Amino acid sequence: MKQLRSIGLLMLAVASMSGGAFAQEPNGAPPEPENDRWIVQFEGAPSENEIDALISYTGGQTVKRLHLINGRAVRGPESMVATLRTSILVKRVEKDVIRKATAKPAPSQTIPWGVDRIDAEKAWRTSTGSGVKVAVLDTGISLSHPDLKDNINTNCSYNTIDPSKAPEDQNGHGSHVAGTIAAVHNGIGVVGVAPKATLCAVQVLSASGWGYCSDIIEGLSWVIGKGIKVANMSYGGSELCSGEKEALDSADAAGITLVAAAGNNYGGAVDWPAKHEKVIAVTAVGQKTDGTLYFASFSSKGPEVDLTAPGVSIPSTYKKAGYKTLSGTSMAAPHVSGVAALVLEKNPGFNPADVKKRLEQTAECLGSLGSCSTNGTKNWLQGWGLVDACKAVNGTSCQ
């Protein structure tokens, strides 16, 4: 039974703790950081003073406040957890699980075949994503990159890792994702799926590519109310974070189309947050020299998959002023986010369910990967098929 509000009535106890799960890279991942962080959600509306006293009494330290889910990220000793769970103030205590960028190094390539394969350039006759804000929840974006800077809006950008600093990408992953979404059509480097969309750099992953669930929750809280219409999440992990799930529900309710990488689990289960029913889960395909598409061996699969997109040997922008070719479901998801931006420019009244329905109904079913619908059940490899930018923008036909 939970105890009264009085801190003096709390009894010390010990709870075990383990590190958060994440999607490791096939070619070797950096060691998982030690995880001594927890997300604490509160019942009702306790005062800040009551919460501060409770956390202090248990030996914890507040890392950040999570107003979106009535909670806090807390760092503290193992004995803190069981003690917090006995308090009448506390609704839930769970690990601040870790997410990791889902990219895989690949041989270099010179042309962005993925943008061409989904017929994005045909869609530009009707829509370029102009005026649509897309949040890249990632390692940040290279803010001065010559192929990105004209599309970046610093007013909708934020660094949850260190709010005192700009969300400058020191890893490269976020910049690569941003380039696939909206690299500028300026005659240099590469061009993105939605070359006039507005990029919002929301840094939720560190320079090493890791990020805590609480940082992601803070990032989702940030995008609500900023006029952002699409959020790309090219990261994942196998472990559920309940607070993140609630934050995703809030973002969806606020009218934000959520897109996530399915994960690089070599045919294993789809990661969180892609597994969430309100999120568009994207797997990856590659292209053979004869133009045939194939399911990427590293890609996750499962009943949660909604769409597939190019994700093997994808050239895009990188940190500083660089360019790099990468593979992963991280590279597939931004193709879908870019198409969502194209659809929303032409259909500004669409809600997330409308966008998802349009993308699924106009997708190209890849026969080589099997039927896309068996008695209403989606294909575990490609969902409803390969995202098709031109058909998505123009309805059922490509003009």
Same domain? 55 vs 172: no
Same domain? 145 vs 87: no
- pLDDT score, position 3: 38
Residue 138 annotated as catalytic: yes
C-alpha separations of 178 from 165, 306, 333 in Å: 19, 21, 11
Using one digit for the tens of pLDDT, what is the confidence trace for 254-297?
A: 999 999 999 999 999 999 999 999 999 999 999 999 999 999 99
Q: What is the mean pLDDT of residues 83-90?
A: 96
> Is the pLDDT assigned to residue 215 strictly greater than 60?
yes
CA–CA gap between residue 359 and residue 377 (Å, rounded): 17
Q: What is the mean pLDDT of residues 171-192?
A: 95
In the set 119, 138, 147, 388, the catalytic residue is: 138
Structural domain harbouring 44: 36-95
Same domain? 243 vs 355: yes
Same domain? 55 vs 191: no
- Is 387 contained in some domain? yes
Find out whether 336 and 280 touch, Cβ atoms under 8 Å: yes
Residue 206 annotated as catalytic: no
Q: What CATH number corresponds to the domain at position 292?
A: 3.40.50.200
Same domain? 348 vs 258: yes
Same domain? 71 vs 89: yes
Same domain? 124 vs 76: no
pLDDT-above-90 percentage for the chain? 83
Q: Which of 72, 95, 118 corresponds to the end of one domain?
A: 95
Using one digit for the tens of pLDDT, what is the confidence trace for 340-377?
A: 999 999 999 999 999 999 999 999 999 999 999 777 78
Same domain? 112 vs 241: yes
In the set 175, 214, 299, 330, the catalytic residue is: 330
Same domain? 76 vs 200: no
Residue 173 annotated as catalytic: yes
- Is 74 contained in some domain? yes
Q: What CATH number corresponds to the domain at position 48?
A: 3.30.70.80
- Looking at the structure of the chain, the number of domains it has is 2
* 386 burial via Cβ count (<10 Å: 0-12, 13-18, 19+): buried
User: For the chain, what is the mean pLDDT?
Assistant: 89
- pLDDT score, position 377: 83
Same domain? 144 vs 122: yes
Find out whether 360 and 392 touch, Cβ atoms under 8 Å: no
pTM of the entire predicted model: 0.85
C-alpha separations of 227 from 199, 251, 258 in Å: 12, 11, 14
Parallel, antiparallel, or unpaired for β 71-75 and 133-138? unpaired
